[in-house]
Structure formats: structure tokens, C-alpha cells
């Protein structure tokens, strides 16, 4: 559901052509990266007045700008705070765009909506712990434009809330968004919960892999690479309510070794042990300031989060890609990325009883040694 636009031929030809859309995107990026809400309104509402259709504005203009925000942040060219500001501006632009439809939408939605002539009712939400709500919001607005009855629950929806909502409203399908691989266990819980009450789940977002490979592992009924694909998929044949009686433990049989559970539970202790071990192996650390030490602790926490996610999915790539990305960020920050190898050594020693964790760590260590430092890409990280 990341609102990645397809740069191929637009599916809805408008007098407002691709060149104009690109121009609008550039102007919006200008405004959004300055945090200039009013200029941003002007750009988008101006394009709408000039004949741009709303779906293109949402997916090709706002979606592209938001993707760029994510890229800038992932490449450490934008702070988390600035990213929030840019996102907040984008969010309000969407709200302004949506407000123009409000009267029509209200007319379509009588008190007792029979739902007979609408495509259906859908709940759009981000999984617990997921703060990147904009892709989900864009999908919600696009589906609203296409006539769906949309319940948009926003960022970080705890699974009990999601299920309570699904039980109350009985949607035809739930769309779940997640951008970070570390949220995959939470996504699994949400997918399982929705399917156990008989509602099919469509998932999207970078967390599920470029090709959606994790979506199937977690039992999702469908996956879409971007907002437009998700809307098209939903417009096709309706997703079948899942067969119940499915046991979610069958999805990921490797979890039986409890390595995920232990690493998750011992995360704090492992960070402490790694800090102590690093000071031994990496003398430069002894002269770290309190703040530097805190940053290191946070980085270690993220490394363990991704290790846990990789253990959960039993997938080396999740851990290795994160470390390679981290190496890139550390270099940008002026921290020697060489410190990552001793970090992995220390973690490997701490987790020597855990064969799967050991394999993941070895794989990542080899990849780090092989890679000439990469250009940071894809929003797979959490570091500042």
C-alpha cells in the first residue's frame, strides 16, 4: 500500500498530463520539505482546479512526495522530526482534498447504508507500532473516491481495537499497512485475528517485501505493491472470507524453537551485554559521551529488533539488509561502520545457544565484509 506511483502510462488519461503531474509533484515537494502548509494547499488545490483528477493527485503527486520524504529520511538527509513535519503537511493536504468531496460522500452515505450499490465496506489500518500512516490514508481516500465505505483507523492500531471495530462494523475486507519489517510479528497477529473472525485481509507496505513474499507467509489473503494496485485488486473479484479453523502456528513452524521469544524477552539484557562487550573489543567506545553511548544503545536495540523480526520470519534478508543499511547510515554520521562487525561478534557470543540466530548473524557478518559500503536505500530502517 505504499503509495508508490506506477510511472508507466497513467490508467486514467486526463487533460492534466504526466508532465503537469511531475511539475506539481516538484512544487509540492518544495512546499512540504519547507513545512509550508499553505503553499502545499495552493499547489494541490491549484492542480485540482486545473483539471488534475483526484486519484492522480493522491497517488502520483502526494504519494510520490511522501515516498521521497521516506527516502530522504532513510538516507539520513532528513531528521525524524522533519519527516513528521513533512508528513503532517501532506496529511493536511489530503484532508483538504478530501474535504472537497465531503458533501458528495455524505449524500452517498445514508443513515442506513444498505451497501447494495457500493463496492463494499473496508477497514483501513496500520498495524500496531506502525507510525507511517500516510500510505494507508492515501489508500483510504482513493477507495472513498471509488465509492467504498471506508473506515480509516489510522496509525498504530492495537489488534484488540481492530478486532473490536471489525466485529462491530462487519467489513468485507481489512486492509493493513506496515512499512517496517520489525512490525511483521504485530502484522501477523492482526492478520490472524481478522481472519479468525472470518474477514479476509489485504496487506501492503514495504514491511511485506518488494514482492510481497512475507504477506503469504503470514497468511494474508492478498498483497498489493502500491495504492493503485490495491484499489484495482479490490475492484476485481471479491476476496473470499477465509476458512476458519486455521491455526496460526502452522504459518511459521520454525517458531517452535522459541528463539524469537527469547531474543525479544532478553533484548534489554542483550543490549547491556553487547555494550560491555563492545567496550572491550572496540577501545574507541570508552571515550564516548553519554549521548553517544545512548545512541549506541539505541542502535543496538534496533539491531536486536531486526534480528527478532528475522527470527520470526526465518529470513536472513531482513537482518542482513538492515545491517547493510545501518552501515551506510553510520558512515554518513561519521561513525566507523567497522564497529558493526564486533557488535555482531558480541551478539553471536551472547546467542551461541541459538542456532538460527547464529546463522542470521553469520550471514550478516559475511555480507558486511563483502559489501563495499552501500548507498543507503529503501526505508528499511529506524535510525536517526
Q: Which of 48, 64, 87, 192 binds another protein (CB under 8 A)?
A: 87
Query: What is the C-alpha separation between 345 and 338, in angstroms, rounded?
Result: 12
Between 158 and 212, name the residue whose CB sits nearer to another protein: 158
With binding defined as CB under 8 A, does residue 80 bind another protein? yes
State the burial class of residue 14 (Cβ atoms within 10 Å of its Cβ: 0-12, 13-18, 19+).
Answer: middle
Which residue blocks in 240-289 are alpha helix, DSSP H? Answer: 259-265, 267-281
Give the CA distances from residue 250 to residues 29, 209, 241, 312, in Å, rounded to whole numbers and listed in that order: 45, 21, 19, 13
Beta carbon nearer to another protein, 48 or 87? 87
Among 14, 76, 248, 267, binds another protein (CB under 8 A): 267
- 79 touching another protein, by CB under 8 A: yes
Q: How far is CA 165 from CA 65, 151, 161, 174, 223, in A?
A: 31, 9, 6, 11, 22
The rounded distance, in Å, linking the Cα atoms of 44 and 50 is 10
Does 339 engage in binding with another protein (CB under 8 A)? no
Least Å from the CB of residue 313 to another protein: 18
At how many degrees (to 10) do helices 340-350 and 290-313 cross?
Answer: 60
Name the residue nearer to another protein (CB basis): 7 or 246: 246
Binding mask 189-208 for another protein (x = CB under 8 A): -------xxx----------
Determine, following the binding rule CB under 8 A, whether residue 156 of this chain makes contact with another protein: yes
Interface with another protein by CB under 8 A: which range of 97-105, 156-164, 310-318, 329-337? 156-164
Q: Which stretch binds another protein (CB under 8 A): 84-92, 202-210, 253-261, 309-317?
A: 84-92
Contact 275, 254 (CB under 8 A): no
Of residues 301, 342, 348, 358, which one binds another protein by CB under 8 A?
A: 301
CA pair distance 254, 356, nearest whole angstrom: 9
Contact between 201 and 173 under an 8 Å Cβ cutoff? The reply is yes
Residue 37 lies near another protein (rule: CB under 8 A) = yes
Three-class secondary structure assignment of 127-185 = CCCCCCCHHHHHHHHHHHHCCCEEEEEECCCCHHHHHHHHHHHCCCEEEEECCCHHHHH
Contact status: 33 vs another protein (CB under 8 A): no
Number of residues that bind another protein (CB under 8 A): 46
Q: Is 166 in the site for another protein (CB under 8 A)?
A: yes
167: contact with another protein by CB under 8 A: yes
- Contact track, another protein, 109-138, x by CB under 8 A: -------------------xx-x-------
Pull the grid cell for residue 326.
545501518
Site residues (CB under 8 A) for another protein, limited to 281-300: 297-298, 300
Indicate whether 159 belongs to the interface with another protein (CB under 8 A).
Answer: yes
Note the Cα 192 to chain centre separation in Å: 18
Nearer to another protein, 91 or 314 (CB): 91
Binding site for another protein (CB under 8 A): 34-39, 79-82, 84-85, 87-89, 91-92, 128-129, 131, 155-156, 158-161, 164, 166-170, 196-198, 244-245, 267-269, 271-272, 297-298, 300-301
Amino acid at each position: 500500500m505504499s503509495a508508490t506511483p506506477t510511472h508507466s502510462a497513467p490508467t486514467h488519461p486526463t487533460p492534466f498530463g504526466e508532465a503537469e503531474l511531475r511539475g506539481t509533484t516538484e512544487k509540492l515537494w518544495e512546499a512540504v520539505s519547507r513545512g509550508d502548509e499553505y503553499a502545499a494547499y495552493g499547489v494541490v488545490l491549484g492542480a485540482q482546479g486545473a483539471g488534475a483528477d483526484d486519484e492522480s493527485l493522491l497517488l502520483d503527486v502526494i504519494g510520490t512526495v511522501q515516498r521521497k520524504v521516506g527516502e530522504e529520511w532513510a538516507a539520513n538527509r532528513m531528521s525524524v522530526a522533519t519527516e513528521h513535519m513533512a508528513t503532517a503537511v501532506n496529511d493536511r493536504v489530503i484532508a483538504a482534498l478530501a474535504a472537497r468531496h465531503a458533501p458528495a460522500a455524505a449524500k452517498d452515505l445514508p443513515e442506513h447504508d444498505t451497501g447494495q450499490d457500493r463496492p463494499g465496506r473496508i477497514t483501513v489500518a496500520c498495524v500496531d507500532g506502525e507510525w507511517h500512516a500516510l500510505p494507508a490514508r492515501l489508500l483510504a481516500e482513493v477507495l472513498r473516491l471509488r465509492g467504498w465505505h471506508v473506515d480509516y483507523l489510522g496509525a498504530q492500531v492495537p489488534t484488540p481495537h481492530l478486532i473490536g471495530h471489525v466485529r462491530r462494523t462487519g467489513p468485507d475486507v481489512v486492509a493493513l499497512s506496515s512499512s517496517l519489517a520489525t512490525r511483521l510479528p504485530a502484522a501477523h497477529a492482526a492478520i490472524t485475528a481478522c481472519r479468525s473472525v472470518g474477514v479476509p485481509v489485504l496487506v501492503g507496505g514495504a514491511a511485506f517485501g518488494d514482492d510481497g513474499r512475507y504477506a503469504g507467509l503470514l497468511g494474508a489473503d492478498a498483497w498489493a505493491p502500491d495504492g493503485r494496485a490495491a484499489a484495482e485488486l479490490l475492484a476485481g473479484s471479491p476476496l473470499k472470507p477465509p476458512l476458519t479453523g486455521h491455526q496460526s502456528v502452522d504459518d511459521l513452524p520454525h517458531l517452535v524453537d522459541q528463539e524469537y521469544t527469547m531474543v525479544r524477552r532478553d533484548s534489554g539484557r542483550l543490549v547491556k551485554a553487547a555494550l560491555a562487550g563492545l567496550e572491550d573489543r572496540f577501545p574507541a567506545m570508552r571515550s564516548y559521551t553519554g549521548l553517544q553511548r545512548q545512541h549506541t544503545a539505541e542502535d543496538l536495540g534496533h539491531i536486536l529488533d531486526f534480528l527478532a523480526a528475522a527470527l520470526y520470519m526465518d529470513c536472513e534478508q531482513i537482518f542482513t539488509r538492515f545491517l547493510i543499511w545501518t552501515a551506510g547510515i553510520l558512515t554518513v554520521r561519521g561513525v566507523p561502520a567497522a564497529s558493526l562487525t564486533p557488535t555482531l561478534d558480541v551478539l553471536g557470543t551472547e546467542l551461541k545457544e541459538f542456532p538460527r540466530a547464529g546463522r542470521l548473524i553469520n550471514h550478516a557478518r559475511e555480507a558486511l565484509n563483502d559489501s563495499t559500503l552501500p548507498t543507503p536505500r529503501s526505508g528499511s530502517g529506524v535510525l536517526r
